[in-house]
Amino acid sequence: MKKDSKIYIAGHRGLVGSAIVKNLKAKGYQNLIVRTHKQLDLTDSVAVASFYAKEQPEYVFLAAAKVGGIVANNIYRGEFIYENLMIQNNVIHQAYLNKVKKLLFLGSTCIYPKSCPQPMKEEYLLTDVLEYTNEPYAIAKIAGIKLCESYNIQYGTNFMAVMPTNLYGPNDNFDLEKSHVLPALIRKIHLGKALETHNWQAIRTNLNHLPIEGVDGNASENTILEVLTKYGLSRTSDGTVQVEIWGSGKPMREFLWSEDMADACVFLMQHQNFTDTYLKGSKEIRNTHINIGTGEDISIANLALLIQKQIAFKGTFYFNHDKPDGTLKKLTNVSKLNALGWKHTMNLEKGIDAAYSWYLKDCK
């Protein structure tokens, strides 16, 4: 990519897209094209075709997606598979028709089998069944990988796919119904801290910023307490504030700072091509995607303790064993990416500190 190359970032307001925009600008790329969902509905094939015809981007980062945690993935199964398929089909197909020089499709490590050998190598894709709770989303992302591979093989395009591990950072989603585990824990423990110190101003400010099921800071204390209890924030008989965590707390998860992820994506767009992702002369071209992660993981229970320490929450945790754990271990093998010359820089403890600082500023 040249500094004046026309670059389209699909999903620029989200956790992933906003980090990519920030990284590109920091590296001197200024000819960036962005559209809000209101300006361009990526599930609308006619609108996407019109956009490409008008703008003619040279490079595309496909970071737009319908995303969520274990709750949202399990409840909104139809929406997750339909919307993600529509978004990626439209953006990738129009990139082909409009002769985009290079495209980077972002998926997720949930594409790997539920009982995948650890750490997960790219070659383990489609070797066993998927985790049930996020199967529709995973199937959509696998389809995106195969769409890129198939267009490259048939049409000679240069479309790459990367599979980031669990991400967190600025512009994360803190909606308790739809967020992933780390931002959900940050918000719940933040609210737990406010409850134990009887800081109702902080609670009301938080709910005004992001209501829970329509309950904002103007609601009565009883109404607020009811919705907080529903989402796992309550007091025990001795007055201690308790935060509910789904499952046993034993599942291991890997977390990557979103700005590290963005740096890896820009690095790959600058230095790699699809033809670099497989052995030359291969009869079958598959598993060309690249994992992006840290190669390090932590249990959900220990993650909660790290966040508790950062927020100085004195309450307790209740692990609800009636709720699903999801996959017990999801650690990426990042040797492919490391061999290309990229490695993450932010460790988890500093990352949680930075994420919470951002969250406090955003909630004001």
Q: What is the DSSP string of 246-281?
A: ES-S--EE-EEEHHHHHHHHHHHHHH--GGGSS-TT
| pLDDT band for position 11 (cuts 50, 70, 90) | very high
Q: What number of H helices and E strands is found in the chain?
A: 12, 14
Q: How far is CA 352 from CA 33, 178, 193, 312, 356, in A?
A: 31, 19, 16, 13, 6
Q: Mean pLDDT lowest for which of 64-73, 103-112, 344-353?
A: 64-73
**2 located within any domain:** no
How many structural domains does the chain have? 1
* pLDDT over threshold 80, residue 330: yes
pLDDT at 68 over 90: no
Single pTM value for the model: 0.90
Distance between CA 361 and CA 364 in Å, rounded? 6
When pLDDT is cut at 50, 70 and 90, the band that residue 35 belongs to is: very high
**Active-site amino acid positions:** 137
CB atoms within 10 A of CB 134: 24
User: Which of these, 352, 254, 344, lies nearest to 300 by C-alpha position?
Assistant: 254
CB atoms within 10 A of CB 263: 22
In a domain, 271, yes or no: yes
Does some domain include residue 217? no
d(CA 122, CA 347): 23
Q: What is the pLDDT of residues 235-267, one digit of tens each?
A: 998 999 999 999 999 999 999 999 999 999 999
pLDDT at 73 over 80: no
pLDDT at position 71 over 80 = no
Residue type, 325: D
Closest CA to 282 of 158, 112, 149, 105: 149
Q: How confident is the model at residue 75 (pLDDT cuts 50, 70, 90)?
A: confident
Is a pLDDT exceeding 80 seen at residue 326?
A: no
CATH number at residue 268: 3.40.50.720
| In the predicted structure, residue 120 carries a pLDDT above the cut 90 | yes
Q: pLDDT (tens digit, 9 = 90+) per residue, 293-312?
A: 999 999 999 999 999 999 99
Does residue 147 lie within any of the structural domains? yes
Q: In what order do the strands lie in the sheet with 233-235?
A: 233-235, 241-246, 316-320
Q: Residue 31 falls within a domain, yes or no?
A: yes
Confirm whether 284 is domain-assigned: yes
The domain of 81 spans 7-171+254-296+330-346
Contact 334, 294 (CB under 8 A): yes
Say if residue 119 is preceded by a cis peptide, omega within 30 of 0: yes
Residue 78 lies in a domain: yes
213 DSSP 8-state letter: T
Q: Determine the angle formed by the axes of helices 181-196 and 200-209, rounding to 10 degrees.
A: 150
Is there a contact between 171 and 67 (Cβ–Cβ < 8 Å)?
no
Q: What is the mean pLDDT of residues 96-114?
A: 96
Which residues, including other chains, have CB under 8 Å from residue 339's CB and lie 6 or more apart? none
Whether 247 is in a domain gets the answer: no
Identify the pLDDT of residue 346: 96
How does the average pLDDT of the chain come out, rounded? Answer: 94
